């Protein structure tokens, strides 16, 4: 991504990260946990959610993260494991939804030949949201995928995921440095991107 692309993509990155973390906090709050509200995370204000390194990685490598929303599952109504699964899913799903809305908007902008700047901005919004969604599904702590995996496993096997928490960040750094993440997730990001563009084009007609 060139300098112009980085500058144009910044609003898309801020929105993608903010929506992702807000979704986590909102679902946790609706399940009965007031922690995200007390910590000021029930907002789309990027300043409440940004992690400097994660944001920089999104700009450079298209894979990154925001400041995690703190959640206390003991406050959840009903099944705690299912609650954490829903909270974890909320982030990636919110980004897919934003990407779909972006796809519809992109097709409308192209159809009506709107200024290229806005077309590029929406394009970056789609690709950033898709990348963030796919990246966060990696089943390595502290990413959402690890909590989703733990929620799908039987209670007596969830510890296998939690045991990785100490080493998770180092595993992710190693995967990023060696470009293993790019090689594995690149095709998945492209596939989801193409699917969203196909669906949004079908919606526009």
Q: What is the pLDDT of residues 138-180, one digit of tens each?
A: 998 889 999 999 888 887 787 778 777 778 878 888 887 888 8
Six token digits for residue 77 = 């109504």
Tokens found for residue 74:
């003991």
Residue 30's pLDDT band (boundaries 50, 70, 90)? Answer: very high
Token reading at 155: 């209670």
Tokens 């609706």, residue? Answer: 30
What is the mean predicted confidence (pLDDT) over 74-82?
92
CB 51 within 8 A of CB 67: yes
pLDDT (mean) for 11-21: 92
Please list the active-site residues: 21
Per-residue model confidence as pLDDT tens digits over 43-63:
999 989 988 877 777 777 666
Given the structure tokens 């296998």, which residue do they identify? Answer: 160
Residues 6+ positions from 27 with CB-CB distance below 8 Å: 86, 87, 90
Quick one: angle between helices 52-61 and 116-135, nearest 10?
Answer: 120
Helix runs in 31-62, H state only:
35-38, 52-61
- Check residue 1 and give its pLDDT: 61
DSSP structure class, residue 68: P
Nearest of 94, 90, 96 to residue 151 by alpha carbon: 90
In 15-90, the DSSP E strands lie at none
Neighbours of 167 (CB within 10 A): 12
């Amino acid at each position: 991504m060139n300098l112009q692309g980085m500058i144009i993509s910044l609003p898309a990155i801020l929105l993608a990260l903010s929506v992702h973390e807000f979704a986590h906090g909102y679902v946790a709050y609706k399940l009965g946990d007031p922690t995200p509200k007390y910590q000021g995370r029930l907002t789309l204000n990027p300043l409440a959610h940004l992690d400097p390194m994660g944001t920089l990685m999104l700009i450079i490598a298209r894979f990154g993260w925001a400041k995690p929303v703190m959640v206390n599952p003991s406050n959840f109504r009903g099944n705690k494991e299912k609650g954490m699964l829903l909270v974890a899913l909320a982030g990636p799903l919110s980004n897919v939804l934003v990407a779909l809305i972006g796809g519809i908007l992109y097709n409308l902008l192209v159809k009506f030949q709107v200024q290229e700047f806005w077309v590029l901005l929406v394009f970056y919004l789609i690709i950033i949201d898709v990348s963030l969604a796919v990246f966060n599904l990696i089943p390595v702590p502290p990413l959402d995928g690890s909590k989703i995996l733990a929620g799908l496993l039987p209670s007596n096997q969830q510890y296998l995921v939690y045991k990785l928490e100490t080493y998770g960040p180092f595993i992710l750094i190693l995967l990023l440095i060696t470009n293993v993440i790019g090689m594995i997730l690149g095709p998945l990001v492209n596939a989801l991107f193409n699917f969203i563009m196909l669906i949004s084009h079908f919606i526009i007609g």
